[in-house]
Structure 1
Amino acid sequence: MTTTSYLPLSAEEASRYNSRVTLLGTSGGPPWWDGSDRAGICTAITVNGSTYLIDLGEGWGPRFRQSGLGPSGFQRGLDNVKAVFITHHHSDHMVDYPNLLLLAWHNGSNGLKQPIKVLGPGDRGALPPIFAEEKREHLPEVFHPASPTPGLVESTQRLLEAYALDINDRMRDNAKQDLREIFEFQDIELPGDTGADPNGSPTPGMEPFEIFRDENVRVTAILVDHRPVFPAFAFRFDTADGSVVISGDTGVCENLVRISRGADLLLHECIDMDWVDGLMGPDSPKPDPNLMQHMLAAHTSIEQVGPQAEAAGVKTLVLTHLVPGNTPVAKWEKAQVGFSGNLVVGEDLMNFGIGTPAKREESVPTDGRLPKRTSVPAG
């Protein structure tokens, strides 16, 4: 069990930490939620001035600019971003992925010393089964049968081809750098024969496996239960200051508990099942058993998330990817039941410092007096 509870900090307070977490978007989708200004799901982890993004939901770009994480000044927004990690291929987690690729020219990334690495799930390998097939009057046709379950690398290539006109124009008329020099794309490969049957167990017993490492952070991944989407990952970021886990979208599963053990901060998705039942349950005006079964199996409810965090032994649980995005905070706070640690209901642009704050750089006054304070107390 960790010994420190992490509380939200202002951007200025968080900037004093070598490792910090910023919630750029806290809403799950894909609906647009009335009465909510939460952006789509996106999280930033910044270590020693380098930023790592997890998922690129709707509106992450403007939130990134608002966060102040990028260098100040026009056309320098993305220069601190070193890597991007996609948990799974649902649209609400990567609908603004094209914005990263196509707007990088205009928000920094002009002549980077190293490319931004983008990592995400590989090809599923097989189509998922059709839910309640025997009850459907019309079965869906396979969309793009030549390659119906592409991974990140192939999906990215298709996106770039779709915008060939814009890309060619920018490179020829504006002398922009080749996007293939700005980004490096990689499918996350599962270890051994894990995932050989994508329609079998979505979370076979496994240990977290390393997918990325640099001078600031080691990133490990594990499969989580977001059936029928596969692969779907949770990520753990270990730095010299502490550890952060991003659950991705998942139902209750042992793999999520396994990768979260001993982490300082667990950012976990959450869904309001009362809302689900009222909208699409059997007694609702428009029952939708197809979507209902997905919501029940592939997400974690308010009642379930606290016990899951307790099993992992984390001290601080931050709820994010909130569905619906307009559920009152008081309702989300009921997730405290079954959890003995510190619960925080995430909000866009909320910050957390990991570890202890770095010493403040202060000069000695010319009159020889020492500064009043040489370090910043923990938040």
Structure 2
Amino acid sequence: MKLFVKTLSILSILAVLVAFLVQMPAVQEQLIQREITQSMSNVPDDLFAEDALRITLCGSAAPMPTKDRAATCVMVIAGGKFYIVDTGNRSTNNLGIWRIPAKRVGAVLLTHFHSDHMGDLGEFNMMTWAQGRDAPLDVYGPIGVKQVVEGFAQAYALDSAYRTAHHGEDYLNPAIGRMVAKEIRLEGDSATVLDDGALKITMFSVNHAPIHPAVGYRFDYKGRSVVVSGDTTKIEKTIKFSRDADVLFHEGLSRHIVKQMEIESGKIGNKQLEKIMFDIQDYHTSPVEAAEVANEAKVKELVLYHLVPAPDNKVAEWTFMRDVKEVRPTGVTIGYDGLTFTLPIGSEDIYQENLNDR
């Protein structure tokens, strides 16, 4: 007992001493310097090794407000570059926290033009430019992407001019800070976006009516593959273009929960929200349907993203995933911001990690 009291006393004295020291400006300066050095030098270069296809979920939510999730965004890393599928609100902040190097950007690819899929496009362009991107930003998408890119460019025109005037063209060259719209016209139900011999990106049409066009993307890199569904109902095309993929990121909406939200909206007299909750149930895919797509396509790993609504506790998760295990007992993950997959070349292995833990 005496030893315990003595140890407790020593710990208390140390705690008081530490609390006193961190109030001293010299100590604060050292601590801040260490933190700045670590944060600015700890760039995750290993993510860009060309020995694997890597995918990180940089936004797992949909338009509904949520505390810890950005809106829709998937980062695919291949051949030393990263490609962003959709730039949902707050996703650029995640990329900054993870210290993703701007010079590694390959392109942005948009699935359609709902705000939760493109709301951060202007911010992503601005931040990667400010952080040293060395070429204009290519933005791929279906018909309509040119209008979207031009709109964001106009909205950010004054900001861009201010930054160049402040820092100079040697550092913030307006020719590099611009976006270039790459409008892809689908021939039939698919089109090749890029094919450099190692990486092939295929755009394919999906059903998000009345939103048209709406597309998904498949990435094939040295024998490994990932598919991003975009927003869609359960359709044969998604199964076709997901065939034998290593990982499928598929949107998911819980009709059971959304139906309850519709009913409650009516009870409190919010007719507009009641109407929206009713309407959105018919142009998305339920988690069970997404599991069926993965099974029929013989996908190894299914990741649910664009979660409507995003579950923020275990009860919500259980409700969201109701009946999924009966369809697909294993190989299903509820997506979260930072979820990362590594698919080594020449292997069938799939490794998972949380980028927030680095």
What TM-score range do you get, normalising by the shorter chain?
0.7 to 0.9
For residues 320 and 173 of structure 2, the distance between their equivalents in structure 1, rounded to whole angstroms, comes to: 45
Residue 186 of structure 1: aligned partner = 182
**Which amino acid in 1 is paired with 2:309?**
P
Percent identical residues: 28
Q: Are 1:32 and 2:32 matched, yes or no?
A: no
How far 1:25 sits from its partner (Å)? Answer: 1.2
**Which amino acid in 2 is paired with 1:331?**
T
Residue 78 of structure 1: aligned partner = 102
For residues 14 and 350 of structure 1, the distance between their equivalents in structure 2, rounded to whole angstroms, comes to: 13
**Which amino acid in 1 is paired with 2:147?**
E
SS at match of 1:79: helix
Please give the residue correspondences for 1:1-379 in structure 2 after superposition, counting only pairs within 5 Å: 17-29=51-63, 31-33=64-66, 36-68=67-99, 70=100, 77-109=101-133, 112=134, 114-122=135-143, 151-174=144-167, 175=169, 176-179=172-175, 183-191=179-187, 206-214=188-196, 216-281=198-263, 284-285=266-267, 286=270, 290-326=275-311, 328-334=316-322, 335-339=324-328, 341-356=330-345, 379=351
SS at match of 1:87: coil
For residues 253 and 237 of structure 1, the distance between their equivalents in structure 2, rounded to whole angstroms, comes to: 19
For this pair of structures, how many residues does the alignment match?
Answer: 296
How far 1:152 sits from its partner (Å)? Answer: 1.3
How far 1:106 sits from its partner (Å)? Answer: 1.9
Which is further off, 235-244 or 177-186?
A: 177-186
Q: Which structure has more helix as a fraction of its residues?
A: 2
Note the aligned Cα RMSD (angstroms): 2.6
Which is further off, 274-283 or 301-310?
A: 274-283
Unaligned runs of 5+ in 2: 1-43, 352-358
For residues 78 and 347 of structure 1, the distance between their equivalents in structure 2, rounded to whole angstroms, comes to: 23
How far 1:166 sits from its partner (Å)? Answer: 2.1
8 Å contact from structure 1 (residues 227, 297) kept in 2: no
8 Å contact from structure 1 (residues 306, 337) kept in 2: no
Residue 134 of structure 1: aligned partner = none
**Which amino acid in 1 is paired with 2:305?**
T
SS at match of 2:328: coil
How far 1:294 sits from its partner (Å)? Answer: 3.1
Q: Highest relative contact order (Cα 8 Å, sep 6+), 1 or 2?
A: 1
Q: Render the CA deviation track for 1:182-209: whole Å, top value 9, x for unaligned.
A: 5422112121xxxxxxxxxxxxxx5432
How far 1:15 sits from its partner (Å)? Answer: 6.7
How far 1:61 sits from its partner (Å)? Answer: 1.3
Unaligned runs of 5+ in 1: 1-10, 71-76, 123-150, 192-205, 359-376
TM-score for the superposition, normalised by structure 1:
0.71
TM-score for the superposition, normalised by structure 2:
0.75
8 Å contact from structure 2 (residues 262, 278) kept in 1: no
